[in-house]
Amino acid sequence: MIIKSLSVRNFRNIASADFIFDPKVNIFTGNNAQGKTNLCEAISVCFGKSFRNPKTGELLPFGSTEKETSIEMCFTFDNISEKENTIRYTQKKNTADLKFNGIDMKDAEKLYGALRYVLFIPEDLYIVKGDPSKRRDYIDFVSNMINRVHNLKLYEYNKALKQKNNILMNMSIYDNNAGIMLESWNETLAKLGVNVMCGRIKYFDMLSEAAADYYDMINGGNEKLSLCYESSVMGDKKFTAEDFEMMYDIYMKKLRETSDRELRMKYTVVGAHRDDVSFFVDNMPAKDFASQGQIRSIAVALKLAEAKMIKDKSDDVPIVILDDVLSELDGYRRGFIINHIENFQVFITSCNLADTDKFSDGRIWNVKNGTFDLIEV
């Protein structure tokens, strides 16, 4: 999709702003706390939900007497079609309303499918350098993005895991029946756990390949990125999403092997909830060895891979929002991001105008105190 224009009224520190966007690259530069992320958020609101999860009423400007926030976004589904569509968001004190060409958004989604955007925010760096749970969440998010039943599988697994852990809490290590009692829970967990792992691994190669390609482009081919799904159950044994039976057998064996430890620790020590993803740059684990710029480049490569997956797996072409993406990147990497992301309309924010000195084709705004001035490129 291509966002043609956007009008924002009474949204956080943006009293009133109107934009005609470039179909390729749009950059917003300005000092801290001027309204760059607020604008990115305003765009996300038009897609159904703010990425900041605000409380009711938080979007209205502080202390303002205005009673209504409104955002209107005009877009085409692709670069060729002439037909413009409109999404209009309005929020009064306690009520919010989102309409697509005048139809309630939920009904419109049934007609047109969900509109999608891909977002990089600095918190995404934790996908690479944070706890394993951040990476699991990310892989689950990507899996669910392509296959909407993934979250349901995950929900069922987590429910069964919680139930088994509750039983472990109340079980004694000396209980002679422990093994028998745990067996049926293990069967359920192994089945649901393999389901979750298969859901994750199914699109993992696709994500890995696309992320490696983008990483190549970002750094000019000097370093190689690779991803590896690390399973607490399967260890070094290779598996694909088709190996359900084999995985189930190994899963059961592993649960039986670890039952003493489980009884002592009082929780399930192996399974889909303990899996992780490793990122390697030139075969070195990124979590331990990558520089700030490399970590940022990996996170951006993942986000662009996400956009490519949406495009390849559905008819949707998402827009890409990269908030505060350029800091810590060298000139070459910045040059790629501002000039060479193809196939997607991109929105980029930066604190430093100098970071965009090589910008060659698109529109750039200076942001100050919630106002946006278009600069000649």
The residues that touch Mg ion, with contacts defined as CB under 5 A, are 36-37
134 interacts with ligand ATP by CB under 6 A: no
Take residue 340 and report the two structure tokens written for it: 């060479």
15 binds, among ligand ATP, Mg ion, none (CB under 5 to 8 A by kind): none
Contacting range for ligand ATP; rule: CB under 6 A; set: 59-67, 95-103, 242-250, 312-320? 59-67
Distance of closest approach, residue 69 Cβ to ligand ATP, in angstroms: 9
Contacts with ligand ATP in 74-113 (CB under 6 A)? Answer: none
62 interacts with ligand ATP by CB under 6 A: yes
Distance of closest approach, residue 376 Cβ to ligand ATP, in angstroms: 22
What residues contact residue 2 under an 8 Å CB cut-off, 6+ apart? 21, 23, 75, 76, 78, 79, 319, 345
351 binds, among ligand ATP, Mg ion, none (CB under 5 to 8 A by kind): ligand ATP
84 binds, among Mg ion, ligand ATP, none (CB under 5 to 8 A by kind): none
- For residue 42, the one-letter residue type is A
What residues contact residue 206 under an 8 Å CB cut-off, 6+ apart? 309, 312
DSSP state of 123: G
What residues contact residue 72 under an 8 Å CB cut-off, 6+ apart? 6, 7, 86, 87, 88, 89
Q: Where are the beta strands (DSSP E) in 140-275?
A: 225-230
DSSP state of 290: -
Candidates 7, 24, 61, 287; binder of ligand ATP (CB under 6 A) is 61
Distance of closest approach, residue 25 Cβ to ligand ATP, in angstroms: 18
What DSSP element (H or E) covers 37?
helix 36-46
- For residue 306, the one-letter residue type is E
Contacts with ligand ATP in 327-366 (CB under 6 A)? Answer: 351
Take residue 209 and report the two structure tokens written for it: 């390949």
373 binds, among Mg ion, ligand ATP, none (CB under 5 to 8 A by kind): none
Would you tell me how many other CB atoms lie within 10 Å of the CB of residue 121? 19
Distance of closest approach, residue 336 Cβ to Mg ion, in angstroms: 21
Q: How many degrees, rounded to 5, is the angle at CA 8 between CA 7 and CA 10?
A: 150
Distance of closest approach, residue 122 Cβ to ligand ATP, in angstroms: 8
Residue 278 falls in which region: left (phi positive, over 0), alpha (psi -120 to 50) or beta: beta
131 binds, among ligand ATP, Mg ion, none (CB under 5 to 8 A by kind): none
As a whole number of angstroms, the distance between CA 320 and CA 220 comes to 21
35 binds, among ligand ATP, Mg ion, none (CB under 5 to 8 A by kind): ligand ATP
62 binds, among Mg ion, ligand ATP, none (CB under 5 to 8 A by kind): ligand ATP
- The residue (of 35 and 335) whose beta carbon lies closer to Mg ion is 35
As a whole number of angstroms, the distance between CA 75 and CA 13 comes to 24
13 interacts with ligand ATP by CB under 6 A: yes
Contacts with ligand ATP in 24-43 (CB under 6 A)? Answer: 30, 32-38
Contacts with ligand ATP in 168-187 (CB under 6 A)? Answer: none
Edge-to-edge strand ranges of the sheet holding 2-11: 14-20, 2-11, 69-76, 85-91, 96-100, 103-104
Q: At 214, phi and psi to the nearest 5?
A: -65, -40
- The residue (of 37 and 208) whose beta carbon lies closer to Mg ion is 37
34 binds, among Mg ion, ligand ATP, none (CB under 5 to 8 A by kind): ligand ATP
Distance of closest approach, residue 59 Cβ to Mg ion, in angstroms: 16
Interface with ligand ATP (CB under 6 A) = 12-13, 30, 32-38, 58-62, 324, 351
